[in-house]
Amino acid sequence: KAANVGMLSLSLFVFGTIYLVMRISSVKMSPGVPDTELLNNPFLLATGGQEFASKVFVLLKYLVLSFLPIKLTCDYSYAQIPYSNLTDVGFIIALVLNLGLLILGIRLAIKQHVLGFAIVSYFAFLILVTNFLFPVGAVLREGFLFHATIGVAIAIAWLALSGLEKLESTSF
């Protein structure tokens, strides 16, 4: 059994290395060097504050799109969503709402509550595509939201079930 795990680990490492070599040789970007192409780096012309505020504001857009998928578009490239500033009301609302949700999710997850798992899984999937960890080449894209909506679906299902349970226990 240990030999199988070792062989699996070795094969994953070999194929992972082959993939990275092929990717680095085909993509003309050096690690650690920012991309100077505006279409690949939509925050290229933004200041540091604008970049952070815009990324946080996009989190609010993702949250709204999770519940109200209206006005969808195929192109959120440069200037489709204007840069936000640290003093914009949208940024402040987005920051307070997302931080509040994240803190609530972590606290509930520690208590092993279903809603905590839903919120934490939403943010865990979303952080990978929000340009916070690394640039993904787009400000926003509905397709990036696909995996994160499993957290939203779990939360809606739990809220619906707990609401039905309360409704059944109430006598009219």
Q: Is 54 exposed, middle or buried (0-12, 13-18, 19+ CB in 10 A)?
A: buried
Distance CA 5, CA 10 (A): 9
pLDDT digits (tens, 9 = 90+) for 62-113: 999 999 988 887 777 767 888 999 999 999 999 999 999 999 999 999 999 9
Q: What is the pLDDT of residue 33?
A: 66
DSSP category for residue 111:
T
Alpha helices, DSSP H, located in 27-47: none
At residue 171, does pLDDT exceed 70?
no
Distance CA 100, CA 78 (A): 29
Count of C-beta atoms within a 10 Å radius of residue 125:
17
Q: Name the strand (E) or helix (H) holding 98.
A: helix 89-110
pLDDT digits (tens, 9 = 90+) for 20-44: 888 777 766 666 666 677 777 888 8
| Mean pLDDT computed over 147-164 | 93
Distance CA 1, CA 44 (A): 50
Closest CA to 117 of 165, 57, 157, 63: 157
This prediction's pTM: 0.76
